[in-house]
Structure 1
Amino acid sequence: MPAVHLPRRAGRRTNLGLLALLLLAGGTGVLAFGVGTPLPARLVAAAHGAAGLGLLLLVPWKAVVVRRSRSRPAGRRDPVAAWALAVLLLLTLVTGVVHTATGATLGGVGLLQVHVAAGVGTGALLVVHAVGSRQRPRPADLSRRALLRAGALAAGSVALWGAVEGGLRLAGAPGARRLGTGSHERGSGDPAAMPVTQWFTDTVPADAGSDPDDTVELVAGSRTTRLRAADLDRGDRVTAVLDCTGGWYAEQQWRGVRLDRLLAGLDLPDGGSVDVVAVSGYRRRLPLRDAGSLLLATHCAGRPLSAGHGAPVRLVAPGRRGYWWVKWVRRVEVVDAPWWAQPPVPLR
């Protein structure tokens, strides 16, 4: 078979295209963890999917680049790192596509978690690979021709994503019914069938919900009120979707008390926030203006919360991803600090 010769500039353009798609896929993947409202979530998920699938369009070109590089002295290139990057990238793509189509698990672990872990590893090795290649930005990278090629690559990526989405719908695959965030339905209307998961830094307290005299502290300024968890069932109901970053969602009817009812009559700061803190120390801060839509729930689908689902009290935050729904609530504190003055995702 005759050798395939690829101009040096074409090889550079291929590498730049791969880098741009990987950065876009990584950035939108991180952003997808925080976006829970339907339209923005769908746009972010679409950009993430298109960027990931767009990598496939560059595989033939990259294969030629790799074959050509074998004839050169190794220099500073690390073949082990290059192969590890290729394997992790392939694993990231395969697990992402299979999760999208089926929502399957592997040994009790969701493929989305494998996808995320492989993506993090790919990002780390990408930095090593980019440093080792010693390529630097050039004015030609922003030339009209380069931008036209980038546009063609973007259009091809979007077209491939659209073809996959259309195929899922025509085939009636589970992926056709997933949320805009990519999550698959698990246990709607049946809390017992809803997965028990929590943020990876958090754990289920050993005695969660076992004490009938459990209390929740409500703190506003110098005033602290202790409320029995059992007394927080005041009949307020909301039907909301718990959309977990683990790749599943469940729509349930939650019952308890709206946060704005608990805060009524208190001296609240303008533009303030509310810290919701769990027994385990896990916490999230939300804007006070959202108090009317937030619920401290004691029941799910008419049944008391189980320990795994946050008993005796958990926060229900419609329109936000699952890590905002603090379980095992111990304290609710009104603070002057803005809600965004916290890590974008929990660090504890």
Structure 2
Amino acid sequence: MALPLPRRAGRRTNVGLLALFLLALGTGVLAFAVGSPVPARLVVAAHGAAGLGLLLLVPWKSVVVRRAWQRRPAGGGGVSLGVATVLTLLTGVLHAGGGTGPWSWSAGVPVLHVHVALGAATGALLVVHAWGRRQRPRATDLDRRGLLRAGALGAGTVALWGAGEALWRLTGAAGAARRATGSFERGTDDPAAMPVTQWISDAVPDSPAAELVVTTPGRRVRVPVGDLDQGDVFRAVLDCTGGWYAVQDWRGVRLDRLLASVGRDLPADGAVDVVSVTGFRRRLPLSEAGGLLLATHAAGRPLSPGHGAPVRLVAPGRRGFWWVKWVARVEVVDAPWWLQSPFPLQ
């Protein structure tokens, strides 16, 4: 005999699942953009809680599925969505727990990348599945009972996420030591042990630039790469969206010092474009130039080609795709720094 609550499964169950799906997808994308500890921890926690929260609605959803099957044989779309969801959750849990052996880095592909790919596929299947099943809002969605149900679901998702975090600590799993962003340590103070990764289609160039072209209002200067080692040192965390991080002592020249030596009358509200020899670029606020470094060395050793030699940007507090490798040009522009794609398109 079915329990009273599952027997009442229906529209609210689907709305709850949709809300958790959208929250998980949205926070998953946002997690790639946030690098500072407190915001990153909140975003990653919300992502994990929303994903695990889907499990809380399984008893109700199973009733909905059985009813649908009784009326009409199930199509492949719903089954595909269910399988993709399960695999996405499984790979997310494997990454959060730290994984071992083939589960952490299989054939050079981190399990986090598999999780992201499955999440994108799940999102696409969700759109296909929901198309034609649109539900109109109802006044009862925001009544006292509806809000209490939503609150209970939210509390349950947080409790389930907290139980998972406690499990990693009690068992001594590697997941207990991951950073706020969800990344695991690989290669701190040992640049050779850091994975060599690039953003999407970017690749190690055959011929890196021998000089840096610095452009400020009314002036353009070519600086030999050998002159960029000015002894400025930042100890900063490179946190890659591939799921790993490393702390290094990066040495080179502070960006504000370099710009001050080249030009004057820099725009107060301007920005600076840092451009790779490959064409990859990121735009940052000019006001943050004092906290940015053009690095030629890591841990006292010259950068390797895979890690951006001869010079790369060090941008503390930002995720790895902001740390432009193989820098060829630095251009001061009179434009808002946020006037760019949130994520590089290359």
TM-score bucket (shorter structure): over 0.9
Alpha-carbon separation, structure 1, partners of 2:2 and 2:154: 29
2:6 and 2:59 in contact (8 A); partners too:
no
Structure 2 partner of 1:37: 36
Q: What secondary structure is seen at the aligned counterpart in 1 of 2:321? A: helix
Identity of aligned residues (%): 68
Equivalent in 323, 335, 338 of residue 337 of structure 1: 335
Which AA in structure 2 matches 1:139? Answer: A
Structure 2 partner of 1:50: 49
Deviates more, 1:236-245 or 1:132-141: 132-141
Structure 2 partner of 1:14: 13
Q: Deviations over 1:275-302 (max 9, x none)?
A: 0000000000000011001000000111
Question: 1:3: how far off?
Answer: 6.8
2:295 and 2:314 in contact (8 A); partners too:
yes
Alpha-carbon separation, structure 1, partners of 2:203 and 2:6: 54
2:270 and 2:336 in contact (8 A); partners too:
yes
Question: 1:203: how far off?
Answer: 1.2
Structure 1 partner of 2:84: 88
Alpha-carbon separation, structure 2, partners of 1:150 and 1:156: 10
Equivalent in 239, 258, 261 of residue 262 of structure 1: 258
Q: What secondary structure is seen at the aligned counterpart in 1 of 2:180? A: coil
| 1:283-322 to 2 correspondences below 5 Å | 283-322=281-320
Structure 2 partner of 1:73: 72
Question: 1:230: how far off?
Answer: 1.2
Structure 2 partner of 1:239: 235
Q: Deviations over 1:231-263 (max 9, x none)?
A: 100100010000000100000110000001011
Aligned length: 340
1:317 and 1:324 in contact (8 A); partners too:
yes
Alpha-carbon separation, structure 2, partners of 1:156 and 1:275: 45
Alpha-carbon separation, structure 1, partners of 2:7 and 2:270: 57
Alpha-carbon separation, structure 1, partners of 2:206 and 2:148: 59
| 1:68-147 to 2 correspondences below 5 Å | 68-73=67-72, 79-103=75-99, 104-147=104-147
Question: 1:106: how far off?
Answer: 2.2
Structure 1 partner of 2:274: 276
Unaligned ranges ≥5, structure 2: none
Unaligned ranges ≥5, structure 1: none
Which AA in structure 2 matches 1:269? Answer: P
Question: 1:272: how far off?
Answer: 0.4
Question: 1:8: how far off?
Answer: 8.3
1:89 and 1:122 in contact (8 A); partners too:
yes
Question: 1:137: how far off?
Answer: 2.3
Question: 1:185: how far off?
Answer: 0.4
CA RMSD of aligned residues (A): 1.6
Question: 1:119: how far off?
Answer: 0.6
Question: 1:9: how far off?
Answer: 6.0
| 1:208-227 to 2 correspondences below 5 Å | 208=208, 214-227=210-223
Structure 2 partner of 1:188: 188
Q: What secondary structure is seen at the aligned counterpart in 2 of 1:33? A: helix
Alpha-carbon separation, structure 1, partners of 2:330 and 2:208: 17
Q: What secondary structure is seen at the aligned counterpart in 2 of 1:133? A: coil
Change (3 A) 1:3 1:170: closer
1:201 and 1:347 in contact (8 A); partners too:
no
Q: What secondary structure is seen at the aligned counterpart in 2 of 1:119? A: helix
2:7 and 2:60 in contact (8 A); partners too:
no
Question: 1:84: how far off?
Answer: 1.0
Question: 1:30: how far off?
Answer: 0.7
Question: 1:94: how far off?
Answer: 0.3
2:53 and 2:156 in contact (8 A); partners too:
yes
Alpha-carbon separation, structure 2, partners of 1:45 and 1:215: 40
2:23 and 2:50 in contact (8 A); partners too:
yes
